A and B are shown apart, each in its own frame.
Chain A
């Protein structure tokens, strides 16, 4: 007997995995899950990314940290080696959090590619897949391409020139590096190409990417085009924003804070969420991190629908002071928790220094607790209408054409919701770039936008100062090259074709 072919029994081979028609949707779900969970066992177990504690390997958790801890909006008190590098702006290519973020972004691209590879016409023919499943799969493919474009956008935003590969790339080979311009062009091309195959705005099931999600991503790409490629595309940004707004299916959630509650899936404002659920979508990253890490000190975890604080995240006085009147502001968007907390931070590791900021909670708008006290039901509003309003306004102000009056009206809608009155209403003269940067922070703080915004406004490194920037209490300017993260050292070793970003 020399038979050595043993068929796996508790996992599936690619040959038999697609025997069930449900497999295609399950595989697509896995590509979505790449944003929310960390492996095939919830809340942790059988991880996708290895070499780091699984809870830390979560996409949203790492993306959020890179986008927020490097800015004036958030500080974290934990002593994990390499974590304070984000505040200090002195990260190296060996930083494990940057490595995990990079790995997560490219993992998402890889499984999106794998999905596309397994759903080509030839593959479907060979498995005799017929209608109507084939039509469904066509839409699945468009969504997978959207998710791939989303991650390539993150890649080019965070890392600049990155390895580039699509579903035709052979297994096992190291891909070539593409310039930021080329990746930009790819993302743009893809988003335009998949438009027709996606659901019309809000016509698909909640959680799925539709045309408006693709448009919002396109708008973000165009808004930052000058940073990414040197070529401003504000006009294109404005046009795409108009497309979204013209769809007429989105509306602001009447109460700002309800956007961040356990039942926010009912919000008419969210264009594309990362969904979480206390019972079905569990992770120690994602919203579990965002709700728990923000609680400590005298805060009662139960007030936020969770079972305990992780004593990590607070904010700096820069964000507090961005609201007129500081923590006593009339702006309803401010959610500072000040009891037992100091405004100033002398020691980053002390949770009670710096105001706490329980923006995301696991209680519903009506105050009911979520389905699980550890794993919130709250979804992360990745793209939402208010962001589109502000992008539209910024594109207009930056000379992208359009209508300043209309822009002002959008901004004022946000202001009125924030204040509950017209107290915060602006005049056209107030609509400046400086105002818009601040307003984006007031509206979108802790939503993973700040680093990109600061870079676009030239305030991230050599300009801009906030507590603990550069590792000193009062903050200091940092080097311009920090606007890009380094490619991880392990990646440079594995792929000798890659060239490291300057100065790393």
Chain B
């Protein structure tokens, strides 16, 4: 082969060789490419020292180098090549004899390298699987010290003639090699542990991918094998508790309900605090938004089937997120779906589970006997309100909720292509009767290498149809307050035969609410994109990328409230239909140039491009009310015959983002790293003079373990120091807020001019100077790994300061056309420390045990709210509570955490209990707040000015503990999650007072916690009701088994999972973990426990089947 002719005149003497590893590294540096290989595969390989030819392409050089090694290469992406051993069937396992020159014996194993005589052999068969029992095809198996070897077949099986007392070596790319002494056995079954760290791991970052070891930002990836298992509807839940500093809170126990995700604390107040989601390169619009609040689905992310997800990559610091500019401030979550790869065999996978969920802990209220006793004792004149029934309203509204999930996928690949197709169906009932969610999903992924691998094409198409049944959540509060001595049904009742109170303002029968309300939403969503990656022929290392994608949603929400529903006493029936069409189009195009400068021991990668994203959302809404019929069966959504009044409103919202971005990565001596990014971002949400913003970032890294002075420290596998700085933005606010606009009034806000009713036209408030929030952040990180990374992790220290806070602030009378205007004011700070640890405690053939721990501290503080502050100014009230209109219990104030609770200090008695009300404790002859509460400002009065900040809802510490392992065919995993320093306002308890029995128009039931306070009237603002809500929750416990591990054709794993098995907490309410209960991302109601849909305890049985 002429290409092996020496290329250099100064070549080493013919026959000189060098280790293949070294040759590959040389190639890597020269061409500025990544070569992924598994160390052991290269161990004994030597290649001619002169085999390298700089004039040839990478591919040609690799071909040359690997020609005789039993190895082949595959280009897995631009500039990245994977070296692997030849698959079965090819001419492989030729003796590892260098073709050129004589073999250079390895000093240690020189003796072993002599061919072994085959006379004393016998055949041994083996089967190789991964730790979950999935068969591993293509695993190299050879007799140690010989060239005698083979490769496992599709079922992971192989057979090999071996000599007595032989040691078999099993190795495969991505797995840790294992040696097994044959010891006269006829068969050997082993499970290989993944050894991902041995590979030069590649992580996706914004607009590209990087070698993990070169990354200077805080980028954490959670892959499919680490996902939480269980009845998971919303993809976010897959990584709950897995990433340090990422708080994932289900806002309620509603099936598929909304989640609040906070990456390193919240940065904003009135703009969204949710991260940006990018699914296979498509940034998606994830707000469950409807301008009139009637959203079609519960959580837009539900359109993604969790079974299709391969990995989550969380970008946490500005060095990583600044490439997303005005959308990076809350962090970015990149979701990558599963793919098929070239050369893979066709495989079919089926995953299925059935689950049963029950109420974990609900509100505890007085039973019928306790309730009637209280009335007889405290308000005997109200005895007529005591009924003859004994109804447990809580039992009446909750159920054991069944769920099922099925996911079927097909993967495979051709010579230059890979494909994956999947279908999924999920049906999950909620524990609150009538709530339910269903999803049918399909996905198709196609990867094709064209033009001799110069052009890569990736196509992702995902579609889902979600159907949601919404239960009226008011039923939960009503169940807690409804008179327990009254029956569910009353044959004489005009309200469809349900017992209802006479008074219109009394709680409504919750069972009737559930039974009579028909409230359903359906949503079609499709996300898709086509990515082209073309390696330009005229300059090595230069490639052009194009990403064209879309995210379409089309759905509706329909609700029918019949006239016979108690709450319809004013509107006499209501049909509400809200349609939604959301169109999101994205186009990214960018160039990447990667080049190594060998002379300077440097590698440079530069990326620059343009991004365009356009959102257009149309929300037509129809409202029909005042029915002429009380017959609910005759009424349908499409039967307007009975509707006497109607209204139609259509809202159209649109916004557009345009950006130019660039990034440079520089690596020197494979030890010193630098990344600089800049993004210039424009958004239609801001006025012309504030439309464009620049978001820079810079970071440096030092791979300490690559320093020569640590070359001998074999115990040290990773030690990297990182320092990053950057500016990111937040533009997630409503559209058109910078523009003077006029809003027409509807048909019910008309004004009478003579005999005519005139519709109105209102000028809206606006701020022409609106601009982004800018978050400046600094991150100092240390990554570590010891003993082949059996113990690894990272410590991160960060500081984030958000200026120009988007906040709906009180403006001076006369300055604008509303009292509150969204504007840029104030500064919020988040400081924190994150720690992660992964440990492979046991890594044996038949038993493994891994432990992962994440812990994060975050401190959040409002630094500034306005330019000049009145010393008496209390701050901006937030945190609406239940009970009394417009009461709030939180505050935004300088120097305090965001949404600090704002309460009175309750005076305590000698036993530490709060003083009861209705007693003139201070003996001044009047009953007033001074009897109960401390005069904090010392002015002799107790009034609003004596309320003070008292703790906050955000946790100070977040912990996640994951552990898992295998013993023989069994595997297990557990996820524990904990928070400390978080407080909750127990609205369910603060509402309780004797006045609910004695003076409420209709006596209502009380929580059992009333016994502890016995207040006469509600003391909403007592610090008594701000409770410590630290907790430890056993999120997930899974036990699995692979009973058919000996089967050739079928792989089967069965497992059982329990979710939310227990919560340990000092909090007295049902659940200490309270997300944002407002239902809107732009409006925060955190840490207020107000009749939440309780979380369920779920038990699940599942199987995984593949063949």
Docked complex Cα distance between A317 and B938 (Å)? 37
Q: Which residues of B contact A310 (CB under 8 A)?
A: 505
Q: Are A311 and B819 in contact (CB under 8 A)?
A: no
Q: Are A307 and B504 in contact (CB under 8 A)?
A: yes
Q: Are B926 and A471 in contact (CB under 8 A)?
A: yes
Closest residue on chain A to residue B654 by CB atoms: A6
Docked complex Cα distance between A215 and B458 (Å)? 77
Docked complex Cα distance between A51 and B866 (Å)? 18
Q: Are A30 and B761 in contact (CB under 8 A)?
A: yes
Residue from B744, B809, B943, B1018 in contact with A40 in the complex, judged by beta carbons closer than 8 Å: B744
Q: Are B736 and A39 in contact (CB under 8 A)?
A: no
Q: Which residues of A contact B653 (CB under 8 A)?
A: 10
Docked complex Cα distance between A79 and B883 (Å)? 8
Q: Which residues of A contact B649 (CB under 8 A)?
A: 41
Residue from A40, A95, A103 in contact with B819 in the complex, judged by beta carbons closer than 8 Å: A103
Q: Are B740 and A207 in contact (CB under 8 A)?
A: no
List which A144-191 residues lie within 8 A (CB) of chain B. 162-165, 169, 171-175
Docked complex Cα distance between A496 and B867 (Å)? 10
Q: Which residues of B contact A128 (CB under 8 A)?
A: none
Q: Which residues of B contact A5 (CB under 8 A)?
A: 684
Most buried by A among B569, B744, B749, B760: B749
A1-21 vs B, Cβ < 8 Å mask (1 yes, 0 no)? 111111011111110010000
Give the contact-size bracket for chain B.
Answer: 35 or more
B415 close to A (CB within 8 Å) = no
Q: Shortest CB–CB separation between residue B464 and chain A, in angstroms?
A: 28
Q: Are A206 and B752 in contact (CB under 8 A)?
A: yes
Q: Which residues of A contact B754 (CB under 8 A)?
A: 204-208
Which segment of B46-54, B100-108, B871-879 sits at the interface? B871-879
Docked complex Cα distance between A50 and B817 (Å)? 11
Q: Are A41 and B812 in contact (CB under 8 A)?
A: no
B708 close to A (CB within 8 Å) = no
B999 close to A (CB within 8 Å) = yes
Residue from B740, B759, B945 in contact with A14 in the complex, judged by beta carbons closer than 8 Å: B740
Which segment of A277-285, A320-328, A331-339 sits at the interface? A277-285
Closest residue on chain B to residue A373 by CB atoms: B570
Q: Are B814 and A280 in contact (CB under 8 A)?
A: no
Q: Shortest CB–CB separation between residue A399 and chain B, in angstroms?
A: 37
List which B999-1026 residues lie within 8 A (CB) of chain A. 999, 1001, 1017-1018, 1020-1021
B40 close to A (CB within 8 Å) = no
A342 close to B (CB within 8 Å) = no
Q: Shortest CB–CB separation between residue A76 and chain B, in angstroms?
A: 12
Q: Which residues of A contact B503 (CB under 8 A)?
A: 308-309, 311
Q: Are B751 and A275 in contact (CB under 8 A)?
A: yes
A243 close to B (CB within 8 Å) = no
Q: Are A207 and B819 in contact (CB under 8 A)?
A: no
Q: A33-B745, A40-B743, A350-B999 are in contact. Are A92 and B945 (CB under 8 A)?
A: yes
Q: Are A281 and B748 in contact (CB under 8 A)?
A: yes
Q: Shortest CB–CB separation between residue A297 and chain B, in angstroms?
A: 9
Q: Which residues of A contact B769 (CB under 8 A)?
A: 172
Docked complex Cα distance between A282 and B750 (Å)? 8
Q: Are A175 and B762 in contact (CB under 8 A)?
A: no
B768 close to A (CB within 8 Å) = yes
Q: Are A491 and B504 in contact (CB under 8 A)?
A: no
Q: Which residues of A contact B691 (CB under 8 A)?
A: 4
Residue from A9, A118, A283, A301 in contact with B652 in the complex, judged by beta carbons closer than 8 Å: A9
List which B576-626 residues lie within 8 A (CB) of chain A. 612
Docked complex Cα distance between A174 and B876 (Å)? 19
Q: Shortest CB–CB separation between residue A280 and chain B, in angstroms?
A: 4
A305-320 vs B, Cβ < 8 Å mask (1 yes, 0 no)? 0011111000000000
Q: Which residues of B contact A10 (CB under 8 A)?
A: 650-653
Residue from B612, B753, B815 in contact with A207 in the complex, judged by beta carbons closer than 8 Å: B753
Which segment of A104-112, A248-256, A441-449, A455-463 sits at the interface? A104-112
A32 close to B (CB within 8 Å) = yes
Which segment of B57-65, B352-360, B550-558, B884-892 sits at the interface? B884-892
Closest residue on chain B to residue A7 by CB atoms: B654
Q: Shortest CB–CB separation between residue A102 and chain B, in angstroms?
A: 7
Q: Which residues of A contact B842 (CB under 8 A)?
A: none
A434 close to B (CB within 8 Å) = no
Docked complex Cα distance between A51 and B819 (Å)? 8
Docked complex Cα distance between A54 and B1018 (Å)? 23
Q: Are A307 and B884 in contact (CB under 8 A)?
A: no
Residue from B570, B747, B751, B762 in contact with A36 in the complex, judged by beta carbons closer than 8 Å: B751
Q: Shortest CB–CB separation between residue A173 and chain B, in angstroms?
A: 6
B816 close to A (CB within 8 Å) = yes
Docked complex Cα distance between A308 and B762 (Å)? 32
A193 close to B (CB within 8 Å) = no
List which A31-47 residues lie within 8 A (CB) of chain B. 32-33, 36-37, 39-43, 45-46
Q: Are B742 and A50 in contact (CB under 8 A)?
A: no
Docked complex Cα distance between A374 and B682 (Å)? 48
Q: Are B816 and A6 in contact (CB under 8 A)?
A: no
Most buried by B among A40, A46, A78, A351: A40
Residue from A12, A13, A175 in contact with B814 in the complex, judged by beta carbons closer than 8 Å: A175
B186 close to A (CB within 8 Å) = no
A347 close to B (CB within 8 Å) = yes
Q: Are A349 and B995 in contact (CB under 8 A)?
A: yes
List which A65-101 residues lie within 8 A (CB) of chain B. 77-82, 90, 92-96
Q: Are A280 and B654 in contact (CB under 8 A)?
A: no
Docked complex Cα distance between A59 and B1019 (Å)? 29
A27 close to B (CB within 8 Å) = yes
A493 close to B (CB within 8 Å) = yes
Q: Are A25 and B758 in contact (CB under 8 A)?
A: yes
Q: Shortest CB–CB separation between residue B953 and chain A, in angstroms?
A: 20
Q: Shortest CB–CB separation between residue A489 and chain B, in angstroms?
A: 6
Q: Which residues of A contact B926 (CB under 8 A)?
A: 471-472
Most buried by A among B504, B763, B868: B763
B787 close to A (CB within 8 Å) = no
Q: Which residues of B contact A111 (CB under 8 A)?
A: 762-763, 817
Residue from A40, A46, A52, A311 in contact with B505 in the complex, judged by beta carbons closer than 8 Å: A311
Residue from B747, B815, B866, B1020 in contact with A171 in the complex, judged by beta carbons closer than 8 Å: B815
Docked complex Cα distance between A53 and B944 (Å)? 19
Q: Are B746 and A40 in contact (CB under 8 A)?
A: yes
Closest residue on chain B to residue A37 by CB atoms: B749
Q: Shortest CB–CB separation between residue A310 and chain B, in angstroms?
A: 7
Docked complex Cα distance between A240 and B58 (Å)? 99
Residue from A4, A14, A79 in contact with B742 in the complex, judged by beta carbons closer than 8 Å: A14
Docked complex Cα distance between A163 and B649 (Å)? 37
Q: Which residues of A contact B995 (CB under 8 A)?
A: 79, 349
Q: Shortest CB–CB separation between residue A180 and chain B, in angstroms?
A: 16
Docked complex Cα distance between A90 and B1020 (Å)? 19
Q: Shortest CB–CB separation between residue A278 and chain B, in angstroms?
A: 10
List which B731-747 residues lie within 8 A (CB) of chain A. 735-736, 739-747
Which residues in B have some Cβ–Cβ distance to A below 8 Å? Answer: 292, 503-505, 569-571, 612, 645, 649-656, 658, 682-684, 691, 735-736, 739-764, 767-769, 808-820, 866, 868-870, 872-874, 876-877, 883-887, 926, 928, 943-945, 995, 999, 1001, 1017-1018, 1020-1021
Task: List 22 contacting pairs A-B, 8 Å CB cutoff, sorted by A.
Answer: A3-B656, A5-B684, A6-B684, A8-B735, A13-B740, A26-B760, A27-B762, A29-B759, A40-B760, A42-B748, A45-B292, A50-B819, A80-B884, A103-B819, A163-B814, A171-B815, A282-B748, A308-B504, A374-B570, A494-B810, A494-B811, A495-B815
Q: Nearest 8 A-B pairs (CB), nearest first?
A: A42-B748, A205-B754, A308-B504, A106-B813, A495-B812, A30-B760, A9-B652, A174-B812
Which residues in A have some Cβ–Cβ distance to B below 8 Å? Answer: 1-6, 8-14, 17, 23, 25-27, 29-30, 32-33, 36-37, 39-43, 45-46, 48-53, 55-56, 77-82, 90, 92-96, 102-103, 106-107, 109-111, 113-114, 118, 162-165, 169, 171-175, 204-208, 265, 275, 277, 279-283, 296, 301, 307-311, 347, 349-351, 373-374, 471-472, 489-496, 498
Known: A12-B761, A42-B749, A282-B749. 9 other contacts (CB 8 A): A2-B682, A12-B743, A13-B742, A41-B748, A79-B884, A172-B767, A280-B750, A374-B571, A489-B873
